[in-house]
Amino acid sequence: MIAELGLAALWMAAALAALQLVAGAFGVRADSILVDMARPAAIVQALLVMGSFTALLYVFAVTDLSVALVASNSHSAKPFIYKVTGAWGSHEGSMLLWVTVLAMSGALVARFERRLDARSLAGTLAAQGALALGFYAFLLFSSNPFERLATPVPEGLGLNPLLQDIGLAFHPPTLYLGYVGLSVAFSFAVGALLTGRVDRAFADAMRPWVLGAWVFLTLGISAGSYWAYYELGWGGWWFWDPVENASLMPWLAATALLHSVSVLSSRGGLRTWTIMLAVTAFAMSMLGTFLVRSGILTSVHAFAVDPERGAFILVLMVLYTGAALGLFAWRASAIAEGQRFAVVSREGALVVNNVLLSAILAIVLFGTLYPVATEAFGVRVSVGPPYFNPVSAMFFLPLVLVLLVGPLLRWKRDRLDRIAKPAIAAAVVLGAALVGVAMLGGAGLLPALGIALAVALGVASWMPLKGRRLRYVELSVWGMVLAHFGLAVSLFGAAADSGFSKETLAASAIGDIMAIGPYEVELTSITPVAGPNWTATEATMLARRGGASYELHPQSRSFWQPQQQTSESALLGSWNGQLYAVIGEQADGGRWQVRLWWKPFVTLIWLGSILIALGGVLALVGRMGKRRKRDRARARTARQQAELAAL
Amino acid sequence: MKFALIPVAIVALLGGFFAYKLTQPRNDFVQSAMVGQPVPAFVLPPISESRPGVQTADLRDGKPKLVNFFASWCLPCRVEAPFLDRLEREGATIVAIAISDEGEDVDRFLAEFGNPFARIGDDENSQIQLEFGSSKVPETFVVDGEGVIRYHHIGDIAERDIPVLLRELEKAGQ
């Protein structure tokens, strides 16, 4: 019964999305009674689809095995939390979650957006309706999450054990919040293209959505990276796996968009470019979804779904992106040119930032699609870290270089000699750090450059606060400082890890001692252990460092429903790095494969990305606070004028 | 205006390419490179007094067989044991190869989890396992009467794998 209600709510939500599309589209051209329907349609649609998603959560929570999706993705013996997260662990469920978040953000725009003129808002809501409608069609015609089984099964098939992890359970929804935030930016861009109004009101309306999306993407990507680090047992934190790239590409576009929209908002420049980026960012979200779900790519994440669904997402992607870009081609000339600026200016630095970010995006896109393309000609290649690492570093390191001075430049026009002092200071720090790393020895050129740049940026990122009274610095400036500092922290962790990691692979008998980094590790015992739906061999290791000793318990787990092996690495953190232990197969003569890594400063990678996201949150809160203050000031002026008029 | 059409063209191009890719058939699972190859030449002594050892000639007697790699210390092997029993009752001949194991441990394992095996070879250093293209326990191969590997099952055998393996055995016998 609950499942049928969920399905009915989904149909009604789809009908309202259609109404929203039509009403919004009429609203762009002229006033019409239909216009007033777009807003309530968006709000009611969101309520309905939220009800539908709640129904899905319910059937998963009670393990209703007469629902096909539950039967194939859940199991009565599963811990309760994973029963609930199983609701979006599957293809259908995650698509429903996607459209739910989409509709909710559409409702927020409809309810709270006051800056945009009525016609642009109508266009935005129409675009949101069109987006939602496509996903509803997908769910209702191709991936119905509420489909019943003709004969209920006695037991479910279980959730992919790799997904039975608290980090991964919340990783996809976090990314979706990011993707969907970008869809709102896309809708704003379409609305602006329809009316030709690309102004500050537009930038102010779009900016919080881009910021929010970017914060969620940042968090989602770094959570996924940390998951890959401790769960896959490979000891790495970024593999350039196609599925990782699928979320990195929208993030790169969103980062560029974030900076260009700030130029538009503060200075009124980069108009068409901002629109273009907004369309690109969402196109990358769609492309990511398509690549992950069509089965076109082979990846460790193996989401492989049937081609029919892939075709559906492909059609949506081409339709949305193609239509928006077509609209762009048709209307771009109608968008008034923005404010001009000199090459040496804050805008100039941000343009360089955008160009470099776009170049990295192009590199990642190319590397991700290249193997797919060559496969069509019968050649199987695998593009991995040997391509991505040096090529992206070639653009990423100059990007950090620009970051050293960019935030110090003034808007519109500046003189290089004004920032000569801090620039020289940055160069000195950079040189000193480079010499320091070279003296340590052992690191390659790119890691050494990375560490030096990280140190220089770590210092330079605080420069915009210099000489200002900290109490009066705007929250959004703090946000920028914190995000740039976070980038320095992440870069430091990544470069230190790639330059100074140590690895040992040994076939160890009980009692053997291995030396790695600052530790001596003894394999003390191996015992079988059992969990709710897995069995494992668990090693006990004793790690000694400077008189202190710590116990480590890596496991090699076997899940039986579905059958799958995973390794649970054991991590031992200290102030200057992590010891990472993995237990493998049993080798001959009672020996066990043991893999140990010493990873200096590796945790800084994720600490930095949390700082980056926090910077985004500060900027977001700062924007909102500023807006509230401005609104209040406007209301006061209006009241005073009214009082004057009354006199 | 003209330049602005380039992105549209890129989307159309990529879209066309993806559409083409979607219509292409593809392999959904990873196949061992050993499928279609003859089994390696080997002679393995028995590990348990209950069963004889295994050598290549045993796999070329004209009858298709399952070759199961297991170990008494392997937990998933315990999980799959009842399903191996089932396969044996359904008429499959199962030849086992014990990996890095001791005779007493194997005997204890067979006493506790059943002994559906016709022969059990002792592959102490995993040498023959590696030559089979297998890297983990448990793994199971379908070998035809000529000693050619026809099918490779990775991981433990579960309920749903039984019909698949029986079908592959039947195919290998034709």
User: Mean pLDDT over residues A343-362, rounded?
Assistant: 89
- Considering only CB atoms, which chain B residues are within 8 Å of A587? 100, 126
Range from A48-62, A97-111, A377-391 carrying the lowest mean pLDDT:
A377-391
- What is the reported pLDDT for A358? 92
Enter the tokens of residue A609. 């990305």
SS3 helix, strand, coil % of chain A, rounded to 5? Answer: 65, 10, 20
Is the CB of A586 less than 8 angstroms away from the CB of B100?
yes
Which segments of A196-241 does DSSP mark as H helices, in order?
A: 200-231
| A41/A59 Cα distance (integer angstroms) | 27
Is the CB of A325 less than 8 angstroms away from the CB of B7?
yes
- What is the reported pLDDT for A454? 93
Q: What percent of chain B has pLDDT over 90?
A: 29
| A73/A89 Cα distance (integer angstroms) | 8
A302 to chain B, any CB pair closer than 8 A? The answer is no
Q: How confident is the model at residue A587 (pLDDT cuts 50, 70, 90)?
A: low
At B61, give phi and psi (nearest 5°). Answer: -95, 15
A479 to chain B, any CB pair closer than 8 A? The answer is no
For chain B, which residues lie within 8 Å of any Cβ of chain A, measuring from their own Cβ?
A: 1, 4-5, 7-8, 11-12, 14-15, 17-24, 26, 28, 71, 73, 75-76, 79, 100, 124-126, 135-136, 155-156, 158
Is the CB of B124 less than 8 angstroms away from the CB of A587?
no
- What is the reported pLDDT for B30? 45
- What is the reported pLDDT for B26? 52
- In terms of Cα–Cα distance, which of B5, B15, B165, B11 is closest to B94? B165
Range from A158-172, B4-18, B23-37 carrying the lowest mean pLDDT:
B23-37
Would you say residue A63 has pLDDT above 50?
yes
| A89/A166 Cα distance (integer angstroms) | 12
* pLDDT 10s digits, A474-490: 888 899 999 999 999 99
Is the CB of B17 less than 8 angstroms away from the CB of A586?
no
Report which secondary-structure segment, H or E, holds A171: helix A166-195
For an interface test with B, the pick among A318, A361, A365 (most B C-beta atoms closer than 10 Å) comes out as A318
Q: How confident is the model at residue A304 (pLDDT cuts 50, 70, 90)?
A: very low
Q: What percent of chain A has pLDDT over 90?
A: 30
Is the CB of B76 less than 8 angstroms away from the CB of A535?
yes
Q: Chain B neighbours among A 347-386 (CB < 8 Å)?
A: 369, 372-373, 376
Find the closest chain A residue to B80 by CA distance: A560
- CA B14 to chain A, closest CA, distance in angstroms equals 9
At A536, give phi and psi (nearest 5°). Answer: -155, 155
CA angle A146, A151, A156 (to 5 degrees): 70
User: Mean pLDDT over residues A604-629, rounded?
Assistant: 88
Question: If you search the block for the tokens 């992105």, which residue do you land on?
Answer: B7
Would you say residue A492 has pLDDT above 90?
yes
Higher per-residue pLDDT: A411 or B141 = B141
- What is the reported pLDDT for A299? 46
* pLDDT 10s digits, A119-175: 889 999 999 999 999 999 999 988 888 988 776 666 666 655 656 667 667 777 888
- What is the reported pLDDT for B28? 43
Residues 6+ away with beta carbon under 8 Å from A55? A2, A3, A5, A6, A9, A146
Question: For residues A246 and A199, is the Cβ–Cβ distance under 8 A?
Answer: no
- Considering only CB atoms, which chain A residues are within 8 Å of B73? 586
Would you say residue A417 has pLDDT above 50?
yes
Query: Looking at the partner chain, which of A322, A372, A585 has a beta carbon nearest the beta carbon of B11?
Result: A322
Residues 6+ away with beta carbon under 8 Å from A443? A437, A451, A495, A499, A500
- Considering only CB atoms, which chain B residues are within 8 Å of A329? 1, 4-5, 7-8
User: Mean pLDDT over residues B37-59, rounded?
Assistant: 89
Enter the tokens of residue A303. 């989401």
For A17: left if phi > 0, alpha if psi spans -120 to 50, otherwise beta; the answer is alpha
* pLDDT 10s digits, A193-229: 998 888 888 999 999 999 999 999 999 999 888 888 8
Question: For residues A200 and A192, is the Cβ–Cβ distance under 8 A?
Answer: no
A307 to chain B, any CB pair closer than 8 A? The answer is yes
| A370/A48 Cα distance (integer angstroms) | 42
- Considering only CB atoms, which chain A residues are within 8 Å of B71? 586
Q: How confident is the model at residue B132 (pLDDT cuts 50, 70, 90)?
A: confident
- What is the reported pLDDT for A257? 94
User: Is the peptide bond preceding residue A562 cis, with omega within 30 degrees of 0?
Assistant: yes
Would you say residue A183 has pLDDT above 50?
yes
Please, is A34 exposed, middle or buried when counting C-beta atoms within 10 Å of its C-beta (0-12, 13-18, 19+)?
middle
Is the CB of B18 less than 8 angstroms away from the CB of A536?
no
- Considering only CB atoms, which chain B residues are within 8 Å of A372? 21
ipTM of this predicted structure: 0.71
User: Mean pLDDT over residues A89-98, rounded?
Assistant: 86
- What is the reported pLDDT for A270? 83
Find the closest chain B residue to A586 by CA distance: B100
Report which secondary-structure segment, H or E, holds B72: none
- Considering only CB atoms, which chain B residues are within 8 Å of A588? 100, 124-126
User: Mean pLDDT over residues A613-617, rounded?
Assistant: 94
* pLDDT 10s digits, A503-522: 888 888 888 888 888 899 99
Range from A263-267, A301-305, A491-495 carrying the lowest mean pLDDT:
A301-305
> Measuring CA to CA, how many Å separate A342 from each of A415, A599, B25, B65?
10, 45, 54, 79
Q: How far, in whole angstroms, is CA A550 from its chain's centroid?
A: 35
Find the closest chain A residue to B13 by CA distance: A318
Would you say residue B27 has pLDDT above 60?
no
Q: Chain B neighbours among A 260-289 (CB < 8 Å)?
A: 276, 279, 283
- The half-sphere exposure of A14 on its side-chain side, counting CA atoms within 13 A, is 16
